[in-house]
Structures are given as structure tokens and as C-alpha cells.
Chain A
Amino acid sequence: MPEALRTLVAGEASGLVLALDESLSFWGGFESESGTIIDQAHPQVGESLAGRVVTMAVGRGSSSASTVLAEAIRLGTGPAALIMREPDEIVNLGAIVADELYGITMPVLIVDQTTFDAVASAERATISAAGSITF
């Protein structure tokens, strides 16, 4: 069973996988009310992130994205979990503050390329509090 290299925000989650083809800037590229991608230049514009285990290799965009992500987690329109290759402080902050303020955890895991690719091509994935991933 693959393990995260690092668990930046720990928690349990399960959901259908959405593999992002390109990084998404949560500020300007994502609408927290609906949980959908609104960046017209993003190849998956219109897709919903709500409740999905989202794979996104690296983060992107404005630091205001932390608030947008925290707001989506509060509303229940955010991802169930984020699986990444590289840590991104802006994404982390959104998840950390949602956890601290509302007690809602959206796990953020850093994984190696093999695990990343395997999760990205899976239909569903489940994350344990200890950071192991089943799919």
C-alpha cells in the first residue's frame, strides 16, 4: 500500500479521483460557491472538485488562493484530499486554517512520481490518517 512521502495535513478522506492536467490557481481559477473550475484557459474548466481526491503536481497562483480554498472547504465544495508532488505553502495554508477554524480536514499529501501517477489513473482513492493511500 503506497505511503505519502510527507503528510502536510493529516486526515481521512475518500472519493472519486480527479487528475488535474494542469495546475490550478484557486484565486481566479476556481469558484468556492460551486466548487468548479472557472479558469477559461484550464483544460478542465467546468469540472467540479467537490468531494474529489484531486491530484495536482505543483501549486500555482496568487497567495489569496489560501482564503478561496479555506472557503470551499468550509462550504463543502472543496476537494476531499489533495495529492501533490511538491509542497505548496498557499494550498497548505488554506487546508491548515480550515482545519483550525472549522475542524474540517482536507488531507494534503506529498507522494513520489510512481504513486502520483497510480493515483491519478485510479477511479477512486482512500486516504488514511496515517497517510497511506488505497485505490
Chain B
Amino acid sequence: MTLTLDGRDQEMLAGEHGEAAMLAMRVITRVAASMQAKTLLDISGAHIDSCLYHGQAGLDFARRLADDGAEVVVPTTLNVSSLDLLHPELYRGDDHTRSQALALMEAYEQMGCRATWTCAPYQLDDRPGFGDHVAWAESNAIVFANAVLGARTHRYGDFIDICCAITGRAPAAGLHLDAARRAEVVFDLAAVPDRLLELDVAYPLIGHHIGKLVGTRIPALTGVPAGTSEDRLKAIGSAGASSGSLAMFHVVGSTPEAPTLDAALGDNRADVVAMGAADLRVARDQLTTAATGERLGIVSLGTPHYSVAEFGRLIELLDGRRVRDGIGFYVNSGRDIVHEIALRGWERRLIDAGVQIVTDTCTYITPVMADHHGVAMTDSGKWAYYAPGNLGLDVVFGSVEDCVESAVAGEVRRDDSVWADA
């Protein structure tokens, strides 16, 4: 199977559109060949993960492109970086890494990417629509674009994301194609009690569980109430893209390519895996490395970046109370969302409650949290999955209600009554 390039692709490869486009097209065609793509296709947008600093090679690549005059040709958003530019005093890393990370961020801005610095570009006003081909990197964004927006992106990662943005092209392969998007395994949640499915806390656990089981297959979920909210779908996707490599899923009755199970399956025949409350309890325990009743040091919310609705729920739960002194209560979000909540007067209320908002980055990928004595709590399946390894912390996964009540009390409290008899 050989890759056929159109005239403009060939011009770029021959250097007729400049050095940067040539390098970008070389990388894309080499990857396209390894994916056994027959052609490239046009994309209408990109989301870049390469702006997070992991070493000199990432900066060398970005500088080479930027110095050669690269300009993105489609609207392009930027993922989290290693630095919170709005709250620089939080940074506790070394100066060398800070200056390298900053240089990397500047290189991507120089190429015309928007300084969005968020892992949740789907929460911005301008987001892809159904059927749009895009090149998105960052696992939780990829799975949200495919599953919830019905946009089409393969699992792109470092380097190729910006190459697609500079050329406006991507390999016509993988999740860009109809056949690769149909469900290959069904998870039936009919046995999960309705009262659990009415709670936000169930959704990251569903995602964690299916992520561990799917491998490279695309799952369809049945037995989930129709019209499941975007925040709950985001929780399924981000947890499943951490415990596994979930890049697409269907929730029958809620996601756009699954009005019915038959639509989600297409021509595929799929095994049906029954899920029950016990599976969710196991997931909760896998995401928990400390016991309730322990001293609480940290609460971290907003992985992926909190939405306006999630901030609204947090304000409601705090109800004017303050976080206990000495506890670090962090909420990660995008600067655009934080601007919106500031206009609503919520940012002030959160600060007064002792909450530290973190923008542009995330508490699990860069040192921004102070030393707090005690274990950490989170409502995020993704954060609970990565924090013990990345940060060396003990973590208790709980609902946002549990996180707030624990932070006010100063010790880990979890309302396990929801799991009774489940």
C-alpha cells in the first residue's frame, strides 16, 4: 500500500512552501506510511500537546520550525504547559526548566497558535463540529472530540500535532475513517443501580473500568441514562484514556454517533460485558491508596480543566464555608473559563474560601503545589491514576462533595453510604 500525495503535498515536500512546511510534511508522510494511509486529508483545526516541556529535543523541534518561519494554517489551540503564567509565584521547579518551558511556549505562540493553555479545548466557544476532521493531541481531548463532539481525530501526539497544523493535512487513517469508529465491544450498565448513575462520582469510575478492559477496541455503553452531560462524558473519557488508551467511545442515547446501539455497532458484532456496582467499587479502590480518616493535606480538582458548570457546583457545595487552614485546595482550569467565572464573581468567592485556582497547567505535571502534610483527595480519575507515581502522594478518590466536606473538616471523609448494598 503506497501513499499518494496531491500536488500541494508534493510541493511542500519539495520545499516550495519553505523549510518549515517541508520538515512538517516529511514527518507527516513518514508517519502516514507507517499507518499505511493511502492519502492525506484536510483538517479544519489542531490542538497541540507538544508545548509541554519534556526536554531539549521538544524545544529544538519547535525552534527549528519557528525559526524557519512556520505559521499554522488552521485555527490551533495550545494544551497545558509546564508553567502557570497567571500565577507564576506557584512554580517550585528549577530556573533552567522554567526558562526552557517558557521558550517552548513562546515558540508555539510565534507560529500563530492561540495561547489557550488548556487540556479542555472543547470547553472553548470555538470548537469543532460534527464530522470535522481535526488533528488533536492530549488523550482526554482526543477522546472528547471523537466521542462527544463527533469530530474526527486520530490519537496524535507530540511533534505530529504541529506538523498537521502547519500543513493543514493529516494521514487519512485510523479514527478519521468511518469503519474505525464503530463499536467493537459493548458494556451493559443495566445492573448498576440508578441511584449510582445519578451521581457524578460514578462516571470517572466507569471510565477507569472500561479503560482497563478495552485494549485497542472501541466500546459502546448501554444502560446509561440518555442525555448524559458533557461533564460526565468528559469524566468517562479522561479516566479511560489514563487507565487505558481510550480514544473513542459511544454512550447509546447520549453521544452523536450512537442514537441506537445498532448505529454505534455498524456492521460489527460485539461481545457484551455486563458491568455492576461491584466493578465501580473496585475502580474506586484502585484509584485510592490511603484510608479514610487520615489527615488531609491536598485537594486537587479540575483534571481535565474544570468547566463553568463544575465551578458552579463547587461554589454551591462550599456554601460560604472556608477550607481548613493548612490544606492546599487546588482547582485546575483554563484561563478562558477562569475569566468567565471571575465575571460571575465566583473567583473572588473561591479565593475567600481558601481555594487556589491554577491556570495554564495542571497540578500533576509540574511542581506548583506547596508541601502539605497529609494525603491528597481528588474527584478526578485521571489525577488519581497519575498522582501517586508522578508526585509520590497517597490519594483518595472521592466525589466532589467528599472533597469539599473533607477540606472543611481537615480529614479524609467519604460518604460510602451510596455504595451500601451496591
- The interface of chain A, by Cβ under 8 A from chain B, is 6, 8-9, 27-28, 32, 40, 62-68, 70-71, 73-74, 87, 89-90, 92-94, 96-98, 100-102
Contact: B160 with A64, CB < 8 Å? no
Contact: B57 with A8, CB < 8 Å? no
8 sampled A-B residue pairs with Cβ under 8 A: A8-B34, A66-B157, A89-B160, A92-B31, A93-B158, A97-B57, A98-B57, A100-B23
How would you classify the secondary structure of chain B's contact residues: helix, strand, loop or mixed?
helix
For A69, the closest partner residue in chain B by CB is B57
CA distance A92 to B23 in the complex (A): 16
CA distance A66 to B137 in the complex (A): 12
Residue among A28, A64, A97 making CB contact with B389, cutoff 8 Å: A28
B139 at the interface (CB under 8 A from A): yes
Contacts of A70 in B (CB 8 A): 55, 57-58, 61, 159
CA distance A100 to B31 in the complex (A): 13
B348 at the interface (CB under 8 A from A): no
Q: Nearest-CB distance from B139 to chain A (Å)?
A: 7
Contacts of A100 in B (CB 8 A): 23, 26-27
Contact: B34 with A89, CB < 8 Å? yes
CA distance A64 to B161 in the complex (A): 11
A64-B52, A66-B159, A67-B158 are known contacts. Are A101 and B61 too (CB-CB below 8 A)?
A: yes
Contact: B55 with A71, CB < 8 Å? yes
* Interface flags, B29-45, vs A, CB<8A=1, else 0: 01100110000000000
Known pairs A28-B390, A65-B158 / 12 extra A-B pairs, C-beta < 8 Å: A9-B30, A63-B155, A63-B158, A64-B157, A67-B58, A67-B158, A68-B55, A74-B57, A89-B35, A96-B159, A97-B61, A98-B57
* Interface flags, B6-37, vs A, CB<8A=1, else 0: 00000000000000000100110011001100
Contact: B158 with A64, CB < 8 Å? yes
B60 at the interface (CB under 8 A from A): yes
For A40, the closest partner residue in chain B by CB is B389
Contacts of A40 in B (CB 8 A): 389
Q: Nearest-CB distance from B244 to chain A (Å)?
A: 10
Central interface residue in A8, A32, A74, A92, by most chain B CB within 10 Å: A92
CA distance A70 to B158 in the complex (A): 10
Contact: A74 with B56, CB < 8 Å? yes
Contact: A67 with B54, CB < 8 Å? yes
B222 at the interface (CB under 8 A from A): no
Contacts of B203 in A (CB 8 A): none
Q: Nearest-CB distance from A24 to chain B (Å)?
A: 14
CA distance A123 to B219 in the complex (A): 41
B249 at the interface (CB under 8 A from A): no
B50 at the interface (CB under 8 A from A): yes
How would you classify the secondary structure of chain A's contact residues: helix, strand, loop or mixed?
helix
Contact: A64 with B49, CB < 8 Å? yes
A89-B35, A96-B30, A101-B64 are known contacts. Are A32 and B55 too (CB-CB below 8 A)?
A: yes
CA distance A98 to B64 in the complex (A): 13
Contacts of B155 in A (CB 8 A): 63, 89
Central interface residue in B49, B156, B160, by most chain A CB within 10 Å: B160
Closest 10 CB pairs of A and B: A63-B157, A71-B55, A70-B57, A71-B57, A66-B158, A67-B54, A67-B58, A67-B158, A8-B34, A97-B159
Central interface residue in A32, A64, A70, A73, by most chain B CB within 10 Å: A64
CA distance A63 to B58 in the complex (A): 13
Q: Nearest-CB distance from A97 to chain B (Å)?
A: 5
Contacts of B52 in A (CB 8 A): 64
Contact: B54 with A68, CB < 8 Å? yes
CA distance A9 to B30 in the complex (A): 9
For B28, the closest partner residue in chain A by CB is A96
A90-B157, A96-B30, A101-B60 are known contacts. Are A64 and B54 too (CB-CB below 8 A)?
A: yes
Contact: B56 with A89, CB < 8 Å? no
CA distance A93 to B137 in the complex (A): 13
For A88, the closest partner residue in chain B by CB is B34
CA distance A9 to B31 in the complex (A): 10
Q: Nearest-CB distance from B1 to chain A (Å)?
A: 11
Contact: B31 with A89, CB < 8 Å? yes
Contacts of B157 in A (CB 8 A): 62-66, 89-90, 93
Q: Nearest-CB distance from A119 to chain B (Å)?
A: 20
